[in-house]
Every structure is written in structure tokens, then in C-alpha cells.
Amino acid sequence: MMGALKKSLSKLLIPYYPLAGEIVTSPTGEPVLHCNNNGVEFVEAYGEIELLKLDLYHPDASVAGKLVPKTATSVLCLQVTELKCGAMVLSGTLDHRVSDGHSANMFLVAWAEMTTSGTISMTPSFRRSLLSPRWPGSPGKSLNDLYMVVPPTLPETPRLHEYVGRIYYMKAEAMASLQALASSHGTKRTKVEAFSGCLWKALAESADKGEPCKVGVVVDGRTRLIDGVRSKDEMARYYGNVLSLPYGELDSSKLTSNPLSWAADQVHDFLMPAATKDHLLGLVDWVEDHRPHSVMATLLFKGNMKGPSVTISSGRFFQANKLDFGWGRSTLGSCYFPWGLDSGYVMPMPSPSGNGDWIVYMHLFKHQLDTVEAELGDILHPLNLALLKLLEH
């Protein structure tokens, strides 16, 4: 099994050659991906524990420093861990400056295909001209509220609490009920809008009265950029970052006193303007206007951290059900992303079973997680092997 993974990986790095490179600094001070065939770090590990005893609900104890590799220089670092019972855990650390979640999913699916058949169904595109800035550029003033130039030194803000990671299981029927509640005004809200509104309200319960509470939702721009220049196929194959991070900020008292449908409406209102072709083309222009300075989403800025803040990422289309390396479909796909920023992070992903259930990773302050569990304990269940139907075997 280990030999098959390494052999297919070496073949896969031909079409995915940038992942074998490294990040260097250009003469202007910008990070640049240098495609020098530096290679990918590959760690073989063995865990003296059975899968049935692995505490997936508390990834800080079971995953950190054990099942996920650390890398100092490589764009991509992979680790394959065999457990005492024969189960296998495949994990990777990928530089987010090079790859977003869509791209990471594309690579993993291709790796599984290469392992089983020796070919891949989708060749990645590194055609950067697909995201070239316009001339003249037209970034739009609203982007100045969503993005900012990174200061030379970020402010040191004392952290009153420590972040904690937990993984939950959310059943499809619970999601359907949540969506119905969020759509009570007759306007159907999406699952993301319903979930984001629900989490926004739960976070507000953990805040002081009147404290601002912020939630951002990651938007994948690939489907929004399709036009005469960019075909659907090209954008689906595009490897890189095609993301925007709009967010909303509301008084915690308003969030707690209004129904879920109202909160979902607020999510919809800040999300829709960013889910457009004009917004994403403007973002490309905005970034170009500020080069060579590094930029970041305003939501993530440390100096803007009064009150709870969380980013909800876009892992709902992760194709975990396609990750079959030749010895059966994967049982669980999730992430572990304690990113070090003073903002919470939530990644919902589909269960590999394909039944509409979600796996939800949360990286929040402990008191926030405790509040989320108290408020949403009927729909968010601590992840365990019984929920994954593994105890039957």
C-alpha cells in the first residue's frame, strides 16, 4: 500500500509539478512559487493505537503532532500513518498561498485515480492569465472594507482564551430542518446560509451584550468567472486560489433576539454581492493595485478582533467519496487547521458516505464551543465511530 502510494505520487507530480517546488522571495519582496523540482516531503508513520480508540472529537489530542505532518519549506508535505488495526490515515499540509480547498481536493482525487488506474480524469491548469487584472482596473470601493494591506508589524494583542479544535457530525435530516427554519419567510435559503446564520446566533450567545459579532463565508469564484474567455472546463481545472471572504458584523443582542430566518437573511445580504463575476474581477484588480504589498481579509486582522469572529470555509464540495486508493472508499474526510489567526475557523465537509451528512471541524475558543454545543447540541454531535457506522464492523 505504501509503495503504491509513493509510486503513483511520483507520476502525479509530473502534471502537478508546482507542488514539488518551493516558495522564494522575489527582488520586489513578493513570495513566488519557484518550480525547481525540490520534491514533496513524504512521511511514513505507524501509530500504536487502534482506529476504534482514536478520539476524533478532540483533534488537538489525537491529530496534532501525530497524524498531520509539519513542514518548514515544502509546498506540500504528506504523511501516511498505519494504525495497529491495519487502518490507514492519509494527511497532508499544503501551503495556502499556492492552493485553496478546491485545488487540494482536485489533487487528492487525482492521486487516488493515479494509484488505481495509472491515469487521471482531470489535468490541472496553471494558466495564470485566467486571473489577469484588467486594464484599466476597476476594483470597486467596497473592496476597501473587505480587504487591507498587511501592516509591517501586526499588533500584539493579548489572548484571553485559547483556541480549541473539535469535530462534529451533522445528519442530513438535521440540516434539512435547519434550512426549513431559515427559510420561514417564503424565500428559500441555502444550506450554507442556514448553517452560517445558526452559528452566528450561537456565537452571539457567547459574547457580551451589545458586543459586535462577525461571521465570514468563503466564496469559491470559479463558477462565477465563466465567460467567453474562461470556459467551465478551464475554471474547474484551475489550480490556485480563487476565493473571496465577505463578512457581516452585527450587534450580539440583535442576533440573539431575532429568529434564525432573520440571521440567514443577513448572511444572504452580505454574501450575494461577493458571489458575482464583477466582485471577483474587481478583487483581482484590487490585489494588483496594491502589489508588492501583502494583503489580507479585514475579517482576519488582529486589530479588528473586538467580539467573536469566525470564518466559515468552503469544503462542502470536497469529493471524499472519490478517495479510493485501491483498498476501499475512505471512511472519513476532515481537516485540522489551527491557523494561528485571532479569528475562529469552521470547515463543513460532506460525509464520504454520500448521504448528505456533514463532517464539521471547528476551531474556536473553548467557551464559544461550549456555547455552540449547548445551543446546537441537537444537530451537532461529537464525532465518533458509531456515527461513521464503523462499530458495526
Grid cell at residue 100? 485553496
Same domain? 112 vs 149: no
pLDDT of 73 > 90? The answer is: no
Contact 164, 369 (CB under 8 A): yes
- Distance between CA atoms of 234 and 222, rounded to whole angstroms? 9
Strand 309-312 to 212-217 pairing: parallel
Grid cell at residue 368? 464559544
Question: Is residue 220 one of the residues assigned to a domain?
Answer: yes
The enclosing domain of 43 has a CATH number of: 3.30.559.10
Domain end point (choices 117, 143, 177): 117
DSSP 3-state of 20 = helix
Sequence-distant (≥ 6) Cβ neighbours of residue 371 within 8 angstroms:
202, 203, 205, 206
User: C-alpha angle with apex 149: 148 to 153, nearest 5 degrees?
Assistant: 120
Query: pLDDT tens for residues 227-248?
Result: 888 899 999 999 999 999 999 9
Domain end point (choices 117, 149, 182): 117
Report the pLDDT averaged over residues 159-176: 90
Q: What is the pLDDT of residue 393?
A: 40
The total domain count for the chain is 2
Same domain? 91 vs 157: no
Same domain? 172 vs 264: yes
pLDDT of 322 > 70? The answer is: yes
Q: What is the pLDDT of residue 72?
A: 66
Question: Is residue 122 one of the residues assigned to a domain?
Answer: no
- Distance between CA atoms of 301 and 147, rounded to whole angstroms? 9
Q: What percent of the chain has pLDDT above 70?
A: 96
Same domain? 218 vs 308: yes
Contact 103, 239 (CB under 8 A): yes
Query: pLDDT tens for residues 86-113?
Result: 899 999 999 999 999 999 999 999 999 9
Domain span holding position 345: 134-382
Domain end point (choices 117, 145, 168): 117
